[in-house]
Amino acid sequence: MNTEIATNPMDVKALAMDFLTVSQQAAIAAYPWIGKGKKNEADGAGTEAMRNQMNTIDMLGVIVIGEGEMDEAPMLYIGEKLGTKKGPQLDIAVDPVEGTTLMSKGQENALTVVAGAARGSLLHAPDMYMKKIAVGPKAKGCIDINATLTENMSVVAKALRKEVHELTIMIQERERHHMLIDEVLELGARIKLFPDVDIPGAIATCIDEMNIDMLVGTGGAPEGVITATAIKCLGGDFQGQLVPQSEEEISRCLEMGIEEPEKTLTIDEIVKTDQCFFVATGITDGLLVKGIQKKEDQFTLSHSFVAIGGDVKNYQFIEARHS
């Protein structure tokens, strides 16, 4: 299991704005590949820009969720150390282009995401499926990933002071989720389906204006760690459960220090500290943020979302002009 290394929590929080620049630069680098049908080129451009910018930050950062193992990825591989090696020690979880297929087709909801936390505090999740459930701060402590969706909707509705039929549930449009979709509709509640990328939908549960009450479904485990970090910064709640599909995936869990691969994981087990942050920058327009825009005066416009954990949780939407 991870061994936590002491670090100054205020330094970790202060790094959020440095990582905003990291996210912005990765999104801008990926922008030229929108709609070009070349996922690898887009991901490579975002990855290189992200890595170069992170190496300018005064920190000792270690990639725990990245582009793959050292033999699979030349940059941002799991275990890679980044930064000037001076300053706070961090776990870093990244996806330079979340939604590569969406981006390659010119579709919405492609974005750059990065999360950081004190060293030793983020779950080292293998690249496999994870069952997930997310809610906002008003329903914190109510969810149980082992209960039925009907049971979870009932307790969440009570916490939100709503009737069950007034709830809106975010679910990825996949065949594996048809039973969940049917269950929501049978209860008279609303569904909001999305084709790919579940991180924005989970975050939306924590932002009242987005009118999303819960996200449920099965998606990528690495993305689950990034999502849990964002949700923790926002004061919401998240639970996950790894879903290994083979003996090889079970062995992979054990190798990464996860002794009970199918154990229910609470948000505090996925992210073991409140000293954490999350940053996302839109590449294409999406639920959470707008995409990169090129302006006639040679400026580039970016739209980002920054969430910072700690004693006083807060988030910001940031529009920036880049020459």
Q: Per the annotation, where are the binding residues for Mn(2+)?
A: 43, 67, 95, 98, 223
- Taking residue 248's Cβ as centre, other Cβ atoms within 10 Å add up to 9
On whether the CB atoms of residues 129 and 219 are closer than 8 A, the answer is yes
- The pair of structure tokens assigned to 220 is 């990528």
- Type and span of the H or E element at 153: helix 149-160
Nearest to 113 by CA among 277, 293, 235: 277
Per-position DSSP letters for 30-78, written without gaps between them = HGGGTTSS-HHHHHHHHHHHHHHHHTTSSSEEEEEESS--TTT-SSS-T
Neighbouring-strand partners of residue 135: 237
- Type and span of the H or E element at 247: helix 247-255
Can you say which residues are annotated as belonging to the binding site? 43, 67, 95, 98-100, 129, 174-176, 196-198, 220, 223
Distance CA 284, CA 163 (A): 35
Strands (E), 108-155: 111-118, 129-135
Q: Is the dihedral of CA 100, 102, 107, 113 positive or negative?
A: negative
On whether the CB atoms of residues 16 and 313 are closer than 8 A, the answer is no
Distance CA 136, CA 143 (A): 11
Neighbouring-strand partners of residue 82: 61
- Type and span of the H or E element at 223: helix 221-234
Can you say which residues are annotated as belonging to the binding site for substrate? 98-100, 129, 174-176, 196-198, 220
Distance CA 278, CA 264 (A): 23
- The pair of structure tokens assigned to 161 is 């002071």
Mutual angle of helices 39-54 and 16-30, in 10-degree steps: 150
